[in-house]
Every structure is written in C-alpha cells, then in structure tokens.
Structure 1
Amino acid sequence: MRDNAYASLVGTAVGDALGDGLYLRDNAINRRLPTAPWRWTDDTEMACSVLHVLRGHGHVDPDALATSFVAHYDVDRGYGTGIDVMMRDVQRGGDLRALATRTFGGTGSWGNGAAMRVAPLGAWFAGDPARAAAEAAVAAAVTHTHPEGIAGAVAIAVAAAAPAEHMFAEVLRHTAPGEVRSGIEKAAALRATPEEAARELGTGGRVSAPDTVPLALWVIARHPDDYEEAVWEVAALAEDVDTLCAIVGGVIAARVGQEGIPALWRQSVEPLPGWV
C-alpha cells in the first residue's frame, strides 16, 4: 500500500470524525475539540473501500468496489438517504451499480458522496492527475452517475494527485464543463475573506458536488500544507461539516503525511477498520 494514500485515508477519517463531532457551529468557530473518542461516518467507511480495492487490484474495479460498499455498509454511520434506499434494495436482490443509474428519475445523483471518499485514490496516483481523474470517474459512477457527481469526484482526486502549486490548473484541466467546474473557476480567481468565499462558493448545505467541492478547493489552496488550519477554517464555514472536513483533510494529508496531522487529533479518532 502506498504511504501517501494511507495517510490521505487517515486525514479523511480525522477530518470526518472531528467535523461530525463539531455539530454546533459555535464549537467550530471557537475551535473547541469534541470529547474523544471521535467516531467517523460513512465518508470514511466508503473511502476505506476505495483504498481496499486499489490495494487489491491496482486500479478501480467497479464491481469489486460495489461489493465492498455493500459488504461494509453500516446504517449507523450516517449514510445519505439515497444510499440507504439503494442498500435496502440491494438486500432485496438489487444490483448497486444498476440502481445508481435509476436514482433521481434516471439522472443519477449529483451529491457530494463520490467526492468525499476519493482523496485516497488521488493520493494513490500522485503525480499522474490524468490517471487519477479517469479512475475517480469509474469510482464515482458506482453510486453517482450524474455528470456533476462524477465531476466533483474527479476534481478532488486530481487535487490530491497534483502538486499543490498546480492544483487549480490540473483540476480545471480534467474537470468537465458544468456547475462543479464553474464553481472551481470562481474559487481559483476568488480573493475574499473565508466568510465571503462561503457565500460565493457554497457550504455543502445542499449536499451536492457543486455546493461542496469549490469551497473545499479554495480552503486547500489557502493552506496547502497546514492540515490543522485548513480543517478548522472549513469547519467554521461548512454546513455539511463532516464531509467538507473529510475532503480537505484527505487532500492535505496526501501531501503532508500522517505526521502533518496533529497527534492529539489522530489519537482521538477511533481506529480504522482492520480490513483496510
């Protein structure tokens, strides 16, 4: 297993669990850590499957990824309604990948779920943004077949794969036209306070890729090698706090390694599952 991909997974889990514990905006603004242990959510559980499949295959095998998502699904991890419904249908004999194509009247989901789990994939293909983009699109389509849902995953994977100084250029190079890309273009050019950026770019309140990914990338660009500051900043701005913290934490940890994550934070999070 590649060290930077595992570090990204740890960074995802720490951000996810901390963000989930900061259920009051005031806690994030005043930087009050929740009481340990911190419990991670579906963001981390699904990211574990992504890395598990990469470790076993060297690439994203969509059938293996769907199988892992189903095998490790835990209703108590706070999955979104769409995934919960699909998993119940799978238990009745449905196929996850086929069900994903029929969600939202056949348009597929453009939620932020494919983006929240993909930073370790980008880290796995570090230095090869084009490969990261291609593999992220395959990984996203297992559950999110709408072009915007896929674009969100591609953008985050490329951000984790690309050098920090070229992040926006590479992300825009590989992200298809649409709302996600338009938001990223705005983020790349935006000179604003964090509060202004949140109003301009979105805070995850719609739980969509266009409403989540641009702000995540804007914060990452401001703090490319400062895990703690980036996670605190996005936590104070976000509505979907755990997901935005997971994305930001996963991308930055891919660059700075586990040692770049505060030791107390790493110690406060429940362990990752043994199967990963």
Structure 2
Amino acid sequence: MTDRTRLALAIDALTGLSVGDAVGNQAFPPHLRVRAPIHPPEVWSWTDDTQMACSLLDVLDRHGTVDQNALAKAFAAHAETFRDYGMGALQFIDHVLHGGGWRAINAKLFDGAGSWGNGGAMRVAPLGAYFHDDLRKAAAEGAASAEVTHAHPEGIAGGVAIAVAAAHVTAHRGRAVPDLFETVLAHTPAGDVHDGIRRAGELRDRPASEVADEVGNGSRISAPDTVPFALWTIGEHLDDYETAIRTCTLVGGDMDTMAAIVGGVIAAHHGALCVPTEWLEAREPLPRWFTL
C-alpha cells in the first residue's frame, strides 16, 4: 500500500466529510419545519469539523503518522475561530499559539476532567481510510489524534470508534461490509461511548427519531451522545450518502458534526463519487493552504 494510495482514500473520506459538514451547517432544526436545502442557492460554508480534518490529513501526509506535537500546532495555526469552535477548543488554540503545550491545556479543561466532546470523532474519518489495512493501527492513530484535544477517556473513545469504522468500511470497498458494530465495539474502550454504540446496534430498523431519542443526536456536543447515532445512520444508510446526510439533519442536534462523521465514513467506503455533484459544487472550497 503506497502512501499515495492511502492519501487518495483519505481524500475521498475528506470530501464526504466536508460536504456533510457543509450541508449540516446549512440545515435548520426540525422544529422550524424547514428541510435541508436541495438546490444550493449559494455557497455552503463548512465548520471546524472540516478545518481540523484538513489539518489532520496534512499531518498524516507529512509524517505518515499522528505526530501529536505537529498536529497541535497545525490545529492552532490553521484555526479560523469563526468556524463554530467550542469554548474548550478556543482555549486550546490560544494556549498553543502562545507557546503552551497541548497536554497542559488539556489537563485543565472542564475543571480538570478534560473534554469528552465529539471533536475527536468529527475529524477522524480520513485517518481511518488512511490506515484501513490495519484496524489496530487505525484505533491507535485515532486515539493519538483525539488525545491532542481530548483528555477525557470518552472523547478519545469517540475518535477510536469512528477511525475504526472508517477503516473497516474502506477495507471493504466494492463489497458488503460485515459486522460493522461488532468490529467497532471490539476496538472501542469500555465506557459510555461503547455502551451507546452497542445500544444503537440493537435498534436497527427503528425510526431515526426513536433512535436519536434513546442514544442522542449530538445536542450535548459529547462523544457519547453523537457517535452512537452516527454509527446507526451509517449502518442503516451506508449505500445512500444523500439519505444518510438528510437523516442527520432531520433529528436536529449537532447536525453539522453528525453529518461530517457520517459523510466521511460513507465516502470512505464508496469514494467521492457517492457525494451528490450539486452538493459538492455548493460546498465552500477547502482552505487555500490545503494543497494535497
């Protein structure tokens, strides 16, 4: 497996991630009764999900692994703070930009508990595609990526789960994907994320709203209430990118992050051609510094 091939697979995942992020960012909460747009009236902007995924993929391209110090610096250097960064991320960015160490700031966030947010999961699908031929490696690299911004075990577990999911579906391109939930659970540490994924797997064929009510829709911006529904959506709609993304918007919550996770994993499996052309054309161009 050449680095060039790995990178091409990862870029497919990034395409699906960034378009999902952009669609979710334009959607309206279900209670407003406004559907996600079908025909793009203007450019659809993406959020910190895409910005951080670009930094992660850039580091993989330069180092072939998650160099955590390089990744922390990349996250801080490339951040545009109007991209919907959370308060913890903004503190992280400011600290690193002023020469502070990433471990020191992580240990202080959220009264010393560390972040258990969904940031480790939202950006990691391209990494999973990159390491698709070794699930243990994908899990370890997913954890390393999440650790840079998330000291809490649940935040790290979210990154591991989505990295493994993306790796597993990429390894089965052009074929049916066996045992998605079982494979992810086998590599995800015990805890709330793991338990939520297991429960989501038990709710197959249920209405999306019912599943979101039980396992979460990302409204708390945490890994435990985001990753399980994302994996349920992937399991239900792996062969239909558009339906999967619309499902993320119809249950409300953290719609851009949910759609970024789902879109990245599905495009990792099918390639970028599964993304509707109209949506891709409407998506804001990726950052100018991102030249892969």
Judge same fold: TM > 0.5, yes or no. yes
163, 180, 197: which one aligns with 1:167: 180
* Residues 215 and 271 of structure 1: CA distance in aligned 2, closer, same or farther (over 3 Å): same
Q: How far does residue 167 in structure 1 lie from its aligned partner after superposition?
A: 1.6
C-alpha distance in structure 2 between counterparts of 1:224 and 1:246, whole Å: 14
Task: Determine the C-alpha separation between the residues in 2 that align with 1:28 and 1:253.
Answer: 28
* Match of residue 251 from structure 1: 265
Q: CA deviation at 1:209?
A: 0.2
* Alpha-carbon distance in 1 for matches of 2:54, 2:107: 23
TM-score, length of structure 1 as denominator length: 0.95
Q: Which one of the candidate residues 194, 201, 204 is aligned to 1:188?
A: 201
Counterpart amino acid of residue 186 in structure 1: R
Residue of structure 2 equivalent to 1:212? 226
Structure 2 contact 27–35 (Cα < 8 Å) conserved: no
Mapping 1:9-20, distance limit 5 Å? 9-20=14-25
SS in 1 for 2:178: helix
Change (3 A) 1:26 1:14: farther
Deviation, 1:28, is 7.9
After TM superposition, the structure 1 stretch with the greater mean CA deviation from structure 2, 132-141 or 103-112, is 103-112
Structure 2 unaligned regions, length at least 5: 170-176
> How do residues 1-276 of structure 1 correspond to structure 2 at under 5 angstroms?
1=4, 2-25=7-30, 30-33=35-38, 35-163=41-169, 164-191=177-204, 192-276=206-290
Deviation at 1:107, TM superposition (A): 1.6
RMSD value, Cα: 1.5
Number of paired residues?
276
Query: Aligned equivalents of 1:28 and 1:265: distance in 2?
Result: 21
Contact 1:129–1:170, Cα closer than 8 Å, also in 2: no
Cα pair distance change 1:153/1:41, threshold 3 Å: same
Which structure features the higher share of helix residues? Answer: 1
1:153 and 1:217 map into 2 onto residues whose CA distance is 12
Q: Distance in 1 between matches of 2:268 and 2:34?
A: 25
The two structures have a TM-score, normalised by structure 2, of 0.90
Deviation at 1:23, TM superposition (A): 3.0
TM-superposed deviation, 1:256: 1.0
Mapped contact 2:72–2:96 kept (Cα < 8 A): no
Aligned CA distance change for structure 1 residues 209 and 121 (closer, same or farther; 3 Å): same
1:28-63 residue CA offsets vs partner (Å, 9 max, x unmatched): 863433532001110000000110011111111001
Distance 2:275 2:134 in 1: 24
**Aligned sequence identity (%):** 50
Q: Equivalent residue of 1:254, what SS?
A: helix
CA distance, structure 1, for counterparts of residue 101 and residue 258 of structure 2: 29
Residue-by-residue CA offset, 1:179-215 (whole Å, 9 max, x unaligned): 0000000011113111110111101011000000000
